């Protein structure tokens, strides 16, 4: 007979626990059967990205935290709580919508949430209440944070430039690059501090859980664990730049600055833990009131819960498969002629980055003597690795050593046939920041999904889901328009805006004709 160990005591595992663990195993199997690919995708991210490598530690730490509470858990009797199936069903809907949008973050959060809610649904509120913090800790498995990178990089550049100037060093800044008398520096993804932030938040939450009893202290320390690494990363960046400047780039250059960064971060985290330990509280003792020892759940309750789990966990993957239909074959993909323009044979010298589109075309038009290039990509039958809305799709790749983004914003343009339309605007520079006479481009970009233009990734995702739910497929495109702005930036901006106002509507009609299976562009 199975036994449970509590300290030095052993006793047979109660019947209620045996049934509950069997139903829990059924639920875990159903979760893996329906959403296993989602959990595999999380593990793949932990494996390839140092930023999320901490994900491998979450399950072992969770198991250890639960093991520490085995005495309190053994004193309780599990009781099914079918009402938890309702929020689980809501998370199942979230997973379905995220799967239709090919959004890893949504599906991974939803799948992890269902894993967490499976515990109170099967074991009951009192059992889940004992391990609520370990259960919440499971969300650190989800590799979210990429959306913060651009903002964190901008903040790091802003603070670093300001700090270096305050220390008396002249700085010339252009986007995420800046020049000081001793050399040139760039803020790249590794400088954003995202990996410091995520690692600090996880270990800070664990420290707070182990050292505090009151919830407000735990939450306060978790908040400190978010703020400290952001500020520490700013100080790290300033120190590294100044070390390089004062030593004629003999120190803090190349790989050295990454090593110095981790050493500095380790010192800061240890200092944070040392200060936090001043307010440590004694561990809470198990409450006698929890030791009820009752086992009053009947077989019908367990059976109803098991059936409910099969329904909740089974329908989303089936629905996702049914909603994806076959798209018509794409016969041609060639940008159409535009009224009032002439085609020219010109080499653009630049193209935006899009990973594995279904089709791509580039065409240069002459408008009143100015060359305007249009770059179009189409995505059809998308998946998690080949999709329009992706961090891999960008105007300039992070590793690009030829082109650099100087600025970006969103502007509203009155487009013929569409009214006011939000369009992404950016300025790109070719060559290093010291080359003040280098070529510059003005860029406009807009996404096309379910027959509508948008500049918002979130709205693009919502439009894609809407189109699939309505049976209109998942065709999605991006139109990027750019022109040389080296000689006269104001004239280039005006010409590019006028081109977008006049011709984006026509390009939208052309994309719509492709979506409907036609090959002939609008006249």
The string of pLDDT tens digits covering residues 184-216 is 888 877 777 788 888 889 999 999 998 988 888
Q: Provide the pairing of β-strand 452-454 with 419-430.
A: unpaired
Q: What number of other Cβ atoms are within 10 A of residue 105's Cβ?
A: 15
25 Cβ neighbours under 8 A, 6+ residues apart: none
Helix 256-276 with 194-211: angle, nearest 10 deg: 20
User: Which residue bears the tokens 């569409």?
Assistant: 418
Q: What is the pLDDT of residue 50?
A: 82
431 Cβ neighbours under 8 A, 6+ residues apart: 402, 438, 439
Lowest-pLDDT range, 185-194, 235-244, 492-501? 185-194
With a cut of 90, say whether residue 109 has pLDDT above it. Answer: yes
CA atoms within 13 A on the CB side of 69: 23
Lowest-pLDDT range, 46-55, 290-299, 310-319? 290-299
Residue 103 and residue 96: Cα distance in Å, rounded? 10
Could you tell me the CA-to-CA distances from 130 to 64, 203, 284 in Å, in that order? 14, 20, 11
Angle 125-113-65 (CA atoms, 0-180°, nearest 5)?
Answer: 65
Asked whether the beta carbons of 7 and 67 are under 8 A apart, the reply is no
What's the farthest any 2 CA atoms get from each other in the chain?
89
Q: How confident is the model at residue 287 (pLDDT cuts 50, 70, 90)?
A: low
The residue among 437, 436, 412 whose CA lies nearest residue 425 is: 412
DSSP state of 345: -
Residue 12 and residue 337: Cα distance in Å, rounded? 80
Residue 249, phi-psi category: left (phi > 0), alpha (psi -120 to 50), beta (remainder): left
**Radius of gyration for the alpha carbons in the chain, expressed in angstroms and rounded:** 28
pLDDT digits (tens, 9 = 90+) for 64-75: 999 999 888 888
Domain map of the chain by residue range? 1-323, 342-515
Asked whether the beta carbons of 285 and 273 are under 8 A apart, the reply is no
Residue 153 and residue 166: Cα distance in Å, rounded? 20
Q: What is the pLDDT of residue 48?
A: 87
Across residues 495-500, what is the average pLDDT?
A: 91
Structure tokens at 222: 């978790």
**Strands of the 183-186 sheet, one edge to the other:** 172-174, 177-180, 183-186
Could you tell me the CA-to-CA distances from 375 to 203, 365, 428, 449 in Å, in that order? 45, 11, 15, 16
Structure tokens at 397: 């790749």
Q: How confident is the model at residue 250 (pLDDT cuts 50, 70, 90)?
A: confident
Helix 15-48 with 104-123: angle, nearest 10 deg: 160
Average pLDDT score, the chain: 85
Q: DSSP of 158-221, one letter per residue?
A: HHHHHHHHHTT---EEETTEEEETTEEEE--GGGS-HHHHHHHHHHHHHHHHHH--SHHHHHHH
Which residue did the predictor score with more confidence, 401 or 390? 390
The residue among 167, 165, 185, 166 whose CA lies nearest residue 176 is: 185
Residue 16 DSSP SS3: helix
């Amino acid at each position: 007979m199975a036994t449970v160990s509590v300290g030095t005591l052993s006793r047979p595992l109660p019947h209620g626990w045996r049934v509950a663990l069997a139903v829990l195993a059924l639920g875990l199997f159903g979760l893996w059967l329906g959403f296993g690919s989602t959990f595999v995708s999380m593990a793949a991210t932990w494996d390839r990205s140092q930023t999320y490598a901490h994900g491998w530690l979450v399950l072992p730490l969770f198991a250890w935290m639960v093991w520490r509470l085995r005495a309190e858990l053994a004193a309780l009797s599990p009781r099914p709580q079918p009402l938890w199936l309702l929020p689980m069903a809501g998370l199942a809907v979230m997973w379905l919508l995220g799967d239709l949008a090919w959004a890893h973050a949504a599906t991974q959060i939803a799948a992890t949430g269902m894993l967490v809610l499976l515990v109170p649904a099967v074991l009951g509120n009192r059992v889940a209440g004992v391990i609520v913090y370990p259960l919440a800790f499971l969300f650190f498995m989800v590799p979210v944070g990429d959306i913060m990178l651009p903002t964190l990089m901008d903040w790091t550049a802003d603070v670093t430039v300001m700090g270096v100037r305050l220390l008396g060093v002249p700085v010339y800044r252009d986007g995420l690059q800046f020049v000081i008398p001793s050399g040139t520096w760039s803020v790249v993804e590794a400088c954003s501090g995202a990996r410091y932030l995520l690692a600090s938040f996880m270990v800070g939450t664990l420290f707070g859980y182990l050292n505090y009893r009151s919830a407000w202290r735990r939450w306060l320390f978790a908040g400190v664990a978010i703020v400290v690494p952001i500020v520490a990363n700013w100080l790290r960046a300033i120190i590294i730049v100044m070390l390089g400047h004062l030593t004629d780039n003999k120190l803090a250059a190349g790989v050295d600055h990454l090593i110095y960064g981790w050493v500095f971060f380790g010192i800061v985290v240890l200092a944070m833990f040392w200060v936090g330990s001043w307010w440590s509280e004694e561990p809470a003792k198990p409450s006698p009131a929890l030791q009820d020892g009752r086992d009053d759940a009947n077989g019908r309750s367990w059976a109803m819960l098991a059936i409910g789990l099969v329904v909740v966990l089974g329908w989303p993957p089936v629905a996702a498969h049914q909603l994806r239909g076959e798209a018509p074959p794409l016969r041609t993909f060639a940008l159409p002629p535009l009224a009032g323009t002439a085609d020219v044979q010109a080499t653009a010298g630049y193209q935006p980055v899009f990973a594995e589109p279904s089709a791509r075309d580039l065409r240069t038009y002459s408008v009143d003597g100015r060359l305007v290039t249009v770059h179009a990509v189409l995505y059809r039958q998308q998946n998690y690795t080949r999709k329009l809305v992706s961090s891999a799709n960008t105007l300039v790749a992070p590793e690009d050593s030829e082109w650099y983004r100087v600025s970006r914003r969103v502007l509203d343009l009155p487009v013929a046939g569409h009214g006011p339309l939000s369009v992404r605007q950016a300025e790109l520079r070719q060559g290093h920041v010291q080359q003040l006479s280098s070529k510059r481009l003005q860029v406009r970009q807009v996404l096309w999904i379910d027959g509508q233009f948008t500049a918002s990734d979130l709205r693009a995702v919502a439009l894609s889901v809407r189109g699939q739910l309505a049976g209109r497929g998942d065709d999605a495109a991006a139109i990027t328009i750019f022109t040389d702005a080296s000689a006269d930036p104001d004239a280039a901006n005006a010409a590019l805006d006028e081109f977008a106002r006049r011709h984006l509507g026509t390009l939208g009609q052309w994309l719509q004709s492709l979506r409907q299976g036609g090959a002939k562009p609008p006249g």
